[in-house]
Amino acid sequence: MNSIKNKSIENNSLNELSEKNNSLKNELLEKENSLKKYNLFLQRISPSLSIELLAEIQLKKNKKIKVMDLGCGNAGALKELKKKFKEKIHCIGLDAVEFNEKEIDEKIIADAMKIKFPKEIDLIFSFRTIHLIGSVKELLNKTTVSLSSGGAAVYSIRIRNNLNFEGKITELDELFLKKIIAEKHFNDCEVKGEIVSINVEVTPLIQGINLFLKKN
């Protein structure tokens, strides 16, 4: 009887998680990105976090900063940042799909894995895209080269949809991320990470990882 009850609880948990993941997939299909949507991701990590705050931290060190949104969609979040910080911020939008936004400083339409990232970026963020790009290790190599001294990157990475890996994510990506979080560094960057997981038949399965990089 207990076995049947436990299975029922596990099934209910998986059903609830499936509904949440379907909701996240719907979010991904939308190209409408905004600071409000991005900050919802950050506030799952810490209620006080926001893109604006991360930009302000960088502006305490530099009079003008470069910011890049990886998978920027319609670049709505960058447009809002530009409106708020004006000439203090240089906004770069990178997306694989053409988007029409003239109010940001720089637009890059390309496969992120096939280009060199701009140099001396003070803040890079991505919340919906990384699981669709390719090798996470290669992406983080490109990120660390791109960041300025003291620059930061914040990535929300989807790992699984219930039992299955999301998009182009593989077991190697998962193992690599766990390794650098445990070691607390990668290349010349400090690393902090938050792992979101569920238990399926007592085995923890990682569903997502929130990753922070800060270049020394």
- Report the CATH number at residue 172: 3.40.50
Q: Structural domain of residue 186, as residue ranges?
A: 2-215
Separation CA 76–CA 91 (nearest Å): 11
pLDDT for the residue numbered 200: 67
Of 12-16, 114-118, 181-185, the range with the lowest mean pLDDT is 12-16
202: pLDDT confidence band, cut at 50, 70 and 90?
low
What DSSP string describes 48-108? T--HHHHHHHHHTT-SSEEEEEET-TT-HHHHHHHHHHGGGEEEEEEESS-----SSSEEE
pLDDT for the residue numbered 33: 84
Q: How many domains does the chain have?
A: 1
198: pLDDT confidence band, cut at 50, 70 and 90?
confident
DSSP letter, residue 34: -
Place of tokens 């085995």: 203
pLDDT at 7 over 60: no
pLDDT in tens, 39-96: 988 887 788 899 999 999 999 999 999 999 999 988 999 999 999 999 999 999 999 9
Please provide the average confidence, as pLDDT, over all residues in the chain: 85
pLDDT at 154 over 80: yes
